[in-house]
Chain A
Amino acid sequence: MRATDNQGSFLNRISIRRNQVVSMDGNHEQELEDLELFQKHVADRFSDLLLPKPSSAGDSPSGADALLSIAWFRKLLDAFLCCEAEFKAVLVMGRDPAQFAKAPLDRLIPELLDRAVKALDVCNAITHGVEMLRQWKKLAQIAVTALEQRPIGEGQVRRAKKALTTLLTSMAFDEKESHHGKSTDRNCSFGRRGVAAANKDKTAGNCRLLSWNFAKSWSASKQIQAMSSNLIVPRGGEPTGLALPVYVMSTVLVFVMWALVAAIPCQERTGLPTHFPVPRQLGWAQPVIGLQEKIGEEWKKKEKKGTCGLLEEIQRMEKLSQGLVEFADGFQFPAETDDVAAMVAELAAICENMEEGLVPLQQQVREVFHRIVRSRAEVLDVLDQVGKLSTPVPY
Chain B
Amino acid sequence: MGDVMGDFAPITPTNECEEHVFIAARHMLKALGTSKNVSDDLRRLLADVDTHLSRRTQITVNMIDVTREVEEQLKFAQEKIMRWESNTSTIWASGPEKASDYLQAVYDIQRLTASLRSSPSSSSGNQKELLDRAHSVLQMAMERLEAELLHILAQNQQSFEPEYVSFHSCEEDIVSNVSIVSTEDESIGNTSRRDSSGTESEDHIVDLVHPDLISYIKSIANVMFASHYDQEFCHAFTNFWKDALDGYFFALRIDKLSIEGLLKMEWNCLNGKINKWIRAVKYVIRVYLAGEKRLFDQVLGEFGSVYSTCFVEASKGPMLCLLNFGEAVAIGTRRPEKLFKLLHMYEVLADLLQDVDSLFSSEVGSFIRTEFHELIMKLGDTVRATFMDFGHAVALNPSTNPCSKGVIHPLTKYVMNYINTIVVYACTLNLLLDGVQDGAELVPFAQNISLDNFCPLAHHLRSLTSYLEHNLDDKSRLYKDSSLKHIFMMNNIHYMVQKVRDSELVTLFGGEWIREYTAKFQQHATSYERVTWSSALSLLRDDGNTSRKSILKERYRGFNIYLEEVYKIQTGWFIPDTELRKDLRISISQNVIHAYQTFIGKNSGVIGEKHINYTADELENFILDFFEGSPMRLPSTHKK
Contacts and interface: CB of A to CB of B under 8 A. Distances in A.
Interface of A: 117-118, 120-121, 124, 127-128, 131, 135, 138-139, 141-142, 145, 151, 153-156, 158-159, 162-163, 192, 195-196, 198-200, 202-203, 205-206, 208-209, 211-215, 218, 333-334, 362-363, 366, 370, 373, 376-377, 389-395
B260 A155 contact: no
Contacts of A192: 143
9 contacts: A120-B260, A131-B316, A141-B231, A155-B135, A163-B232, A333-B132, A390-B389, A390-B393, A395-B414
Contact of A206 (B135, B236, B333, B413): B236
Contact of A373 (B134, B137, B180, B331): B331
Given A141-B231, A199-B87, A117 B259 contact: yes
A151 B336 contact: no
B318 to A, nearest CB: 9
Contacts of B336: 391, 393-394
Is the contact region of chain B dominated by helix, strand, or loop, or is it mixed?
Answer: helix
Interface residues of B, number: 72
Interface in B106-138: 128-129, 131-138
A128 B132 contact: no
Given A208-B239, A390-B392, A215 B331 contact: no
Interface stretch (B145-153, B502-510, B544-552, B568-576): B145-153
Given A120-B259, A393-B411, 15 more contacts: A120-B260, A121-B259, A127-B320, A142-B231, A153-B132, A196-B86, A199-B89, A202-B150, A202-B151, A205-B240, A211-B243, A215-B256, A373-B378, A393-B393, A395-B410
A366 to B, nearest CB: 7
A377 B331 contact: yes
Task: Identify the 10 closest CB pairs spanning chains A and B, nearest first.
Answer: A155-B135, A153-B132, A395-B414, A196-B85, A155-B139, A395-B410, A155-B136, A199-B88, A154-B136, A121-B258
A124 B88 CA distance: 41
B371 interface: yes
B232 A142 contact: yes
B219 interface: no
Interface in B297-332: 316-317, 320-321, 324, 327, 331
Contacts of B163: none
B235 interface: yes
Given A138-B231, A154-B132, A391-B393, A206 B414 contact: no
B154 interface: yes
Contacts of B620: none
A363 B258 contact: no
B142 A159 contact: yes
Contacts of A203: 143, 146-147, 150, 236
B252 interface: no
A151 B5 CA distance: 19
Nearest to A393: B393
Main secondary structure of the interface of A (DSSP, over half): helix
B374 interface: yes
- Max chain A Cβ within 10 angstroms of own Cβ: one of B139, B378, B411: B139
Given A138-B235, A142-B235, A391-B336, A215 B327 contact: no
Contacts of A121: 258-260
B334 interface: yes
Contacts of A117: 259-260, 263
B88 A391 contact: no
Contacts of B240: 205
B333 A389 contact: yes
A156 B140 CA distance: 11
A120 B325 CA distance: 12
Please indicate which of the listed interface residues A120, A138, A141, A199 has the most CB atoms of chain B within 10 Å of its own CB. A199
B132 A390 contact: no
B351 interface: no
Given A124-B259, A215-B255, A391 B335 contact: yes
Contacts of B321: 213
Given A121-B260, A138-B235, A393-B414, A199 B139 contact: no
A32 to B, nearest CB: 33
Nearest to A124: B324
Contacts of A196: 85-86
Interface string B61-99: 000000000000000000000000111110000000000
Contacts of A205: 150, 154, 239-240, 243
A345 B147 CA distance: 29
A122 to B, nearest CB: 10
Contact of B396 (A195, A208, A390): A390
A390 to B, nearest CB: 7
A341 to B, nearest CB: 18
A370 B374 contact: yes
A92 B89 CA distance: 67
B19 interface: no
A334 B139 contact: no
Interface in B209-237: 228, 231-232, 235-236
Interface string B249-261: 0000001111111
Given A155-B136, A215-B256, A206 B394 contact: no
Nearest to B258: A121
Given A200-B147, A391-B393, A373 B327 contact: yes
B207 interface: no
A145 B390 CA distance: 61
